[in-house]
Amino acid sequence: MRQAPAVVLEAYGRPPVLREVSIADPGADEVLVGVRASGVCRTDLAAVRDARAVPVVLGHEGAGVVLAAGAAVRTVEPGDHVVVNWQPKCGRCRYCVSGRREFCDGVRGTAAPRVHHGGEPLAVMLNAGTFCPFAVVPAAGVVKVRPDLPFAAAALLGCAVATGVGAALYGARIQPGDTVVVLGAGGVGLNAVQGARIAGAGRIIVTDHDPEHLALAGRLGATDLIAAADDVRGAVHDLTAGLGADHVLEAVGAAQLVELAVSLLARGGTVTLLGATARDAVAGFSPRTLLSRQQRIQGCIYGNIAPERDLPLFADWYLQGRLELDPFVSRTIALAEVPELFTEQSGSGVRTVVDLEAA
């Protein structure tokens, strides 16, 4: 049993707090990770609104070193550098056995609660709970990566990169020459831009309210930048000669942007939803228009990636210069500073990274 501080959301609608928690040893098919870095995702910040359970240890975009592995674990060993995979597939449901693992409906957690406070078990966010120096996860909840990968970059692979790049390559399946619109240039949206560039998109149009984010989108491959305050629909109409976009990726999680996304589609185009809207959010569209123009709307969780294949691949791309990640890190903070992020009124750059080795 280990003792460590963790960022815990104790009640909906209130900021999380730092609590001293107990972390149990891993079970036979589980791994104890010494978390070294964890990105702060919009989903973490939205947990005060719609976490599935409280109290819960927050954080899911993490990377670190394996400290211990259960007796049945064969995929990693102590000392391995790993990225946390917060969607460890069950391998047994009808989707997994039919080769459609991205739809797994039996995503795994630990066999029993491994984190406690005051003798009571705590939930961990998305099978991870990386806002703590230690995380116990299923064996499939970590993917080994090369040790020369910086921990901050490795952490981003586990959500922002996987979700954005994966959505472009595997969710939307962007083809060479396609016209793509990305709504929102945060961590996920900017990685969708990189994914569209890697896929060979002919035109990549990005809109955001932050001029610095738009400038970074241009650096990462966007061909056209539109301020969110402008007439986005009119601008896309002009840029595409009235045809619209083959793909629109909504990366914010706002119902009004989902509606905007549908209106930007070309005939046969696809809207891919990446942003996590509020659970009770509702968006409207014309079914007849989708029918007559043969368009579609689809969701995409975790970029539809195959974690064991794609996380090491993305690590290679980063070290080869094909993926840029360093500009995403707007600031680095210590674990004790995390609760303050939930009370900030202004944005905090593209990505804040928690350094769990910092004092």
Instruction: Please state the three-class secondary structure of the chain as a single string.
Output: CEEEEEEEECCCCCCCEEEEEEECCCCCCEEEEEEEEEEECHHHHCHHHHCCCCCEECCCEEEEEEEEECCCCCCCCCCCEEEECCCCCCCCCHHHHCCCHHHCCCCCCCCCCCEEECCEECEEHHHCCCCCCEEEEEHHHEEECCCCCCHHHHHHHHHHHHHHHHHHHHHCCCCCCCEEEEECCCHHHHHHHHHHHHHCCCEEEEEECCHHHHHHHHHHCCCEEEECCCCHHHHHHHHCCCCCEEEEEECCCCHHHHHHHHHCEEEEEEEEECCCCCCCCCCCCCHHHHHHCCCEEEECCHHHCCHHHHHHHHHHHHHHCCCCCHHHEEEEECHHHHHHHCCCCCCCCCEEEEECCCC
Contact 41, 109 (CB under 8 A): no
For the domain made up of 173-299, the CATH class stated in words is: alpha beta
Between strands 179-183 and 120-121, the pairing is unpaired
For 253, residues 6+ apart whose C-beta sits below 8 A from its C-beta are: 42, 46, 274, 275, 276, 277, 278
How far is residue 242's CA from residue 159's CA, in Å, rounded to a whole number? Answer: 34
Domain segments of the chain: what residues? 2-158+304-355, 173-299
Q: What is the gyration radius of the CA atoms in the chain, in angstroms?
A: 20
For 313, residues 6+ apart whose C-beta sits below 8 A from its C-beta are: none
Question: pTM score, two decimals?
Answer: 0.95
How far is residue 134's CA from residue 125's CA, in Å, rounded to a whole number? Answer: 13
Between strands 142-144 and 134-138, the pairing is unpaired
Structure tokens at 146: 């090369």
pLDDT at 211: 96
Q: If you count them, how many residues does the chain have?
A: 359
Half-sphere exposure in the Cβ direction for 181 (13 Å, CA):
33
pLDDT at 134: 98
Fold annotation for 2-158+304-355:
Quinone Oxidoreductase; Chain A, domain 1 (3.90.180)
Which has the closest alpha carbon to 165: 186, 191, 202?
191
Lookup result for tokens 């600031």: 331
Task: Please give the backbone phi and psi of residue 123, each rounded to the nearest 5 degrees, phi first.
Answer: -70, 160
pLDDT at 322: 97
pLDDT at 348: 56
pLDDT at 358: 78
Which has the closest alpha carbon to 212: 337, 327, 58?
327
Give the pLDDT means over successive 10-residue stretches in the chain (359 positions).
97 96 98 98 91 96 98 98 96 95 94 97 97 98 98 97 98 98 97 98 97 97 96 98 98 96 98 93 94 97 96 98 95 96 72 88
Which has the closest alpha carbon to 271: 279, 261, 280, 281?
261
Half-sphere exposure in the Cβ direction for 119 (13 Å, CA):
0
How far is residue 65's CA from residue 79's CA, in Å, rounded to a whole number? Answer: 6
For 142, residues 6+ apart whose C-beta sits below 8 A from its C-beta are: 31, 33, 66, 75, 76, 82, 83, 84, 85
